[in-house]
Structure formats: C-alpha cells, structure tokens
Amino acid sequence: MTGDPASTLYDYADSISLDAQFHLVDTISGTDLNQTKIIDLCESAAASATCAIGDGATTSELKLLQLLDRNDTIRGDPLLDASEIEGNGAGSGVTVSHANKVEIVARSVAILEEGQTLDELAANVTAETEQKITQLRENTKLQGNLAFTSLVMFPPRPPPSSPPRPPPSPPPPTPPPSLPPSPPPPSPPPPSPPPP
C-alpha cells in the first residue's frame, strides 16, 4: 500500500464497523536512545503527526509508531534517519529500519448479556475483532501475516450492595426524677399536765 492514502484503510474499517487506528512502525536501534527526543523528532518530521513508542522499548531498541491520519500517505521509508536522531542527541550508533509494517489498534465495546460470563464475552469480542481485521487485510492492499494481541478491560464492578441498616435503636427510657424522701410524720404533742 506504499503511496496509497491512509483513508483507504479507515474507509474500509468504517464499512465493517471496526473502530481502528493505523500506525506505521519504524524500528530504531542504538545506544542511549532517548524516547522523549525521538517522539519530538517524529512529530516535527510529519506535520501534526501523533507518535508513540511501542511496548517493550529499551534504551537500545524501540518501535516508533506514527499514527496515520486519514489524509496521510502510507510511506515506504523510515520517517527519521539515523543521522537526524544522532545529530539531535537522541542516541548514538543508530540504525533505523522500516519493514512496511502497519500496527492496527482496534477497540470494541460490548454489553454482558444475562447468563453470559465475562470470559465468554471477552472471547466472543476478541474473535469478532480478529475476523474483521482479517477481512480488512483481505479486502485492501495489506499483505503478509497477522499477529494478534488482545487486551481485555472491564469497568470496575460496583461494590456489593450491603443490607439496609436497621434504624438506630431509641435511647433507653430515662427514669423519672427521684423525689426526696417524705418527711417523717409529725410526732404527737406531749401530753398536757393534769390541772392542779
């Protein structure tokens, strides 16, 4: 597909409901490779390009991924050359190769049906996505072997619902205020003396 517009890939992906992004892959080897500087060089080399470093990168080898825009042309040469990387202090003893590889990142969203397990859902979505990518390769000018890597992510589960709390128990009744003890009954008056 070298020299073809990237829109060919995006248009076909849209026609089969495949939510995909397409990246051109350059492999860079050398010593003390500086990922941040290499990404900056990539983004300045291709106007408004979005670049990233692939998984498994080290300071001696990395995959440089350039996200293709619909308006981009699929190139057949490396985006950066070794002298440019070395001249900007992004590594030494650098070699760059471009094997005309396209990395496809596809995203799928599915809803768990009643009675279906998460593992079954993940397997179904993965198989459907792989089938669509195979169809994309067969119906565009992409050639070569496909290698699939799946990353399945589920949203966090809500915490289990806790049983409703019983209402707080009312405070124990307060006893009535105690009364002071009753005064003793008055003693009878002393007997009056007999008259004289």
Q: Is the pLDDT of residue 189 over 90?
A: no
Q: Is the pLDDT of residue 172 over 80?
A: no
Q: Is the pLDDT of residue 184 over 80?
A: no
Q: Which residue has the higher pLDDT, 171 or 91?
A: 91
Could you tell me the pLDDT band of residue 20, with boundaries at 50, 70 and 90? very high
Could you tell me the pLDDT band of residue 176, with boundaries at 50, 70 and 90? low
State residue 185's pLDDT score: 62
Residues in the chain: 196
pTM above 0.85, yes or no: no
Q: Which residue has the higher pLDDT, 160 or 83?
A: 83
C-alpha gyration radius of the chain: 40
Q: What whole-number percentage of the chain has pLDDT above 70?
A: 77
State residue 186's pLDDT score: 63
Q: Is the pLDDT of residue 175 over 80?
A: no
